Structure 1
Amino acid sequence: MTATAAGGRQPMAEVRAGALPLTGPESLDPLMERIGEARYVLLGEASHGTAEYYRWRAVLTRRLIEERGFSFVAVEGDWPDCQAVHDSVTAGPGAPGDPVEALEGFDRWPTWMWANTDVAGFSRWLRRHNVALPPDRRVGFFGLDVYSLWESLHAVLDYLDEHAPQDVDHALEAYRCFEPYADDPQSYALATELVPAGCEREVLSLLVRLRRDAEQAARRDDSLARFAARQNAEVLAGAERYYRAMVRGGPESWNIRDHHMADTLDRLMEYHGPHAKAVVWEHNTHIGDARATDMAGAGMVNVGQLVRERHGDDGVVLVGFGSYEGTVIASDRWGGRPRAMEVPPARPGSLEELMHRALPEGAALFVFPVAAGDRWLREQRDHRAIGVVYRPRHERWGNYVATVLGERYDAFCFLDRTSALTPLPTGPADTREEETWPTGV
């Protein structure tokens, strides 16, 4: 519990003075004004299983695409799966006409993060929006995450077999190195305790070749297929580093993952050109600046911090989300069956409990700095963070990140009571990945 919470100060009048109504798309006008010409807008969520967070992100993202010409949406998802969605929403050759077909193909646990009815609705809207535009102006949908080691390896092999057969042998070296672990990253991670280098040499050799190929090709064409092959090789390198670090524990694997996501975002911006604009959908723990939380004291960085540090001059707006109580889709163990769980009232002294007491209307938008009384924004308070693994009984001592709200975000959406999202039917979940640290976020 933070010192502020322990002291029991509840500046409810200050909260009420800064609260703006959050009622519909038009109520986001103050946030749109704050965004202005910013090229990076990062939208968070306090859980991976809450419908309202997805819905409000979609509402704001639609306005950014329609009114400000944003170029693509990048999410906390795997590159190969999200590329299938991208191909559908941009009406790519041979892609399904309904993006839901691509979403239903997601088979790595937790599938519900993106294979759910709210993402289905947004992706269908995005396809309708795109088909009215020329191909070079269509808005993309991409995955930033690092987990798809095996899928990305197969994607690289397929690409090289068709486009660069002279480099297939290098890809096969990486494949043969990973093959003994039977697509089981935990086994690979454990093996690196005995052989610390693991498959690093083979992966880096392949990556160097694909990077060189991409640089040479950039002078001749800007094929998404070529870019995707290079990106899949970057996933291989990032995932290999992630799994080697994972067995050592501590924040290193987290930092490798968030650096990978920030680097992927940079590559996407470069690919889309000097005037590109990006919307990012990730958990609050990734998009809220880690320097304003107790994550910094643990040696952790995150995407929000890195984007601010790298691109502050281009305009960066970080938007957090939170709620007081409700329901959520999650599991009580990694790889377990997801179900709707009750989210109990927020911990006394937390940001969510303060807003609940101050705002009887139950929903509000804050755009920082607020017009009056911002002391509460400079104080450290507990801020709830629910991962794909959630145990409500741990609320007393876990599931919170100590946060200075006005420094962690540029705006915040509070929704008093929220509800679980609805997963789509998907293929059998692959549960062989290790739990992300901390707590599956």
Structure 2
Amino acid sequence: MLVQRLGAPSDFDPLLDRIRGARIVMIGEATHGTHDYYRLREQLTRRLIAEQGFRFVAVEGDWPDCERVHRSVTAAPGGLADPQAALERFTRWPTWMWSNAEVARFCRWLRAWNQERPPQQRAGFHGLDVYSLWESMQAIFDYLGEEEPASLEAAQEAYRCFEPYGRRIEEYGAASRFVSARCEEEVVRLLARTREQAAADGPDRFSAWQNAEVVAGAERYYRAMMGGGPHSWNVRDIHMADTLDRLLDFHGPGSRGIVWAHNTHVGDARATDMAADGMVNIGQLARERHGADAVVLVGFGSYRGTVVAAPRWGSPAEEMVVPPARPGSVERRLHELLPERAVLVFGGPDQPGWVTEEHDHRAVGVVYDPTFESWGNYVPTRLGERYDAFVWCDETRGVRPLPALTSFGEMETYPAGV
């Protein structure tokens, strides 16, 4: 194991040496609202794009919202001139995950970097998640109305199937448990038509196909969610892993991608108690599909500080105090052993017991109650198996949300808010 103190972007050199040759790098976060995680993730990502030729960033966000950002950062025709304006149009709660000053800073850098290169060499920004059923449906209508009006009927049939349940799509999931309310057949027909149309190259066709995949994934997700348990989690993470694979294909042979998501999605589920519950995640799936040598998983953690989160699902965000990590946790051990900031690169025969043995590892979602620290908010983890590297920040502070008009999103995710 190698430990490097962090102070400047150049201090990531040992991690970049580990990444060299990998096709996929997943960079996590222990919360969805910590400035330090976003800032350090940005520094690492800039170097991966500029020095190692990574072609896109794919985030734990909705495809239509991130498509606006993508068009802005790649200076595509019709894209907004300022990526921050695209981020401020994120309305699905919790908006602060991506609509924040830290992401805006990175996206402005990415646009400036892209504008110095021809369009085919520009790095993209994409969404991996599954929630945007209505937004993706509207995007399909917009595309087909202009490009393929003959294919509009399949989209309209899918829309009419969901329409009785309104924007509260979870009502469809509840109804499907008791009556024949499944829209699966209409969605499959829509997906087949858009896949066929997407056989021709082009970013607009690919985006229409991905929106159809989101509609199909959302139908499965909301139906599974009403059954409880981990199945809906697996539907969501398999959708994100499939989207990542499509992006690698779309960006061309040998393309390399970066994922930004919570530690619970990035860190291999097999090294946690998630595996005992039958759960998988995108880190595990990427290792299985592409091989461990082609994938580098990077986790984050801290001992104490503040975080932007919400006390209840759908409520306004606020800055909360994150208390010192509890005894016996990974975070407590790192607080005792390491400097204020460091990157750990795992591997080799000299790894200490606290890296190979199971210890609690903090995970904070968009909903957070610091009083749960004595019994919740932690995932039993074998750190050196879950990640290939780990970024440590002893004390952290919350992100800076951008102004946003928030609309209520999907029901609470399983597990809570990650």
- Category of TM-score, reference length = shorter chain: over 0.9
* Cα distance, 1:208 vs structure 2: 1.1
Aligned to 2:283: 304
- Deviation for aligned residue 1:197: 5.2
2:207 equivalent to 1:228 = yes
Q: Which residue number in structure 2 is paired with residue 251 of structure 1?
A: 230
Q: C-alpha distance in 1, partners of 2:96/2:393?
A: 21
- Partners in 2 of 1:143 and 1:432 — Cα distance? 16
User: Residue 217 of structure 2 aligns with which residue?
Assistant: 238
Q: CA deviation at 1:374?
A: 2.6
Identify unmatched segments of 5+ residues in structure 1.
1-16
Is the Cα–Cα contact under 8 Å of residues 172 and 181 in structure 2 kept in the other structure?
Answer: no
Q: Distance in 2 between matches of 1:85 and 1:145?
A: 15
Q: Secondary structure at the match of 1:334?
A: coil
Q: Which amino acid aligns with 1:101?
A: A
After superposition, the C-alpha distances for 1:374-396 in whole angstroms (9 at most, x for unaligned) are 32211000000000000111111
Distance 1:314 1:370 in 2: 14
Instruction: Give a deviation string over 1:147-190, Cα, whole Å, max 9, x none.
Output: 00000011111111111111111111111111111111221221
Cα deviation digits, residues 77-130 of structure 1 (max 9, x gap)? 000000000000000112111100100000000000000000000000000000
Where in structure 2 are the equivalents of 1:258-297 lying within 5 Å?
258-297=237-276
User: What is the count of residue pairs matched by the alignment?
Assistant: 418
Equivalent residues of 1:18, 1:371 under 8 A apart: no
Correspondence for 1:349: 328
Q: In the TM superposition, what are the counterparts of 1:147-186 in structure 2 within 5 Å?
A: 147-186=131-170
Q: Give yes or no for contact 1:185–1:434 (8 Å, CA) kept in 2.
A: no
- Residue in 1 aligned with 2:382? 404
Q: TM-score w.r.t. structure 2 length?
A: 0.98
Q: Distance in 1 between matches of 2:45 and 2:52?
A: 10
Report what 1:435 is aligned to: 412
Task: Report the AA paired with residue 119 of structure 1.
Answer: V
Partner of 2:102: 118
CA distance in 1, matches of 2:214, 2:330: 36
2:369 to 381, 391, 404: 391
Tell me how far 1:403 sits from its aligned partner.
Answer: 0.2
| Deviations, residues 204-229 of structure 1 (Å, cap 9, x unaligned) | 111011112223x2xxxx21000000
Give the SS at the match of 1:45: coil
Aligned-partner SS, 1:59 = helix
Shift of 1:253: 0.2
| 3-state DSSP of counterpart to 2:54 | coil
311, 319, 344: which one aligns with 1:340: 319
Distance in 2, matches of 1:154 and 1:391, equals 36
Cα distance in 1 for residues equivalent to 2:298 and 2:65? 25
Q: Secondary structure at the match of 2:204?
A: helix
- Give the Å deviation of 1:373: 4.1
Tell whether the 8 Å contact from 1:71 to 1:278 is kept in structure 2 after alignment: yes
In the alignment, is residue 207 of structure 1 matched against residue 191 of structure 2? yes
**Of the candidates 49, 55, 58, which is equivalent to residue 42 of structure 2?**
58
Between 1:81-90 and 1:180-189, the stretch displaced more is 180-189
2-structure distance, mates of 1:160, 1:91: 23
**Amino acid corresponding to residue 78 of structure 1 in structure 2:** D
The separation in 1 between residues aligned to 2:292 and 2:28, in whole angstroms, is 21
2:21 and 2:294 in contact (8 A); partners too:
yes
Query: Which runs of structure 2 are paired with 1:13-32 in the superposition (5 Å)?
Result: 18-32=2-16
Q: Aligned partners of 1:372 and 1:364: how far apart in 2? A: 18
State how far apart, in whole Å, the 2-side matches of 1:355 and 1:322 are: 9
Q: How does 1:349-388 map to 2 (within 5 A)?
A: 349-359=328-338, 361-369=339-347, 372-388=350-366
Over the aligned positions, Cα root-mean-square deviation in angstroms equals 1.2
Identity across the alignment (%): 60
Contact in 2 for aligned 1:320/1:411 (Cα 8 Å): yes
Gaps of 5+ in 2: none
- The structural deviation recorded for 1:19 is 2.9
Q: Return the alpha-carbon distance in structure 1 between the equivalents of residues 415 and 290 of structure 2.
A: 26
Q: Which residue of 2 aligns with 1:132?
A: 116
Equivalent residue, structure 1, for 2:18: 34
Q: Distance in 2 between matches of 1:336 and 1:34?
A: 41
Q: Among residues 36, 39, 63, which one is paired with 1:79 in the alignment?
A: 63
2:170 aligned with 1:191, yes or no? no
3-state SS of 1:382 partner: strand
Indicate how the Cα distance of structure 1 residues 63 and 432 shifts in structure 2: closer, same or farther if over 3 A, else same. closer
What's the CA shift for 1:370?
A: 5.7
Structure 2 vs 1, CA of residues 313 and 340 (structure 1 numbering), >3 Å: closer, same or farther?
Answer: closer
* C-alpha contact (below 8 Å) 2:35/2:399 kept by paired residues: yes
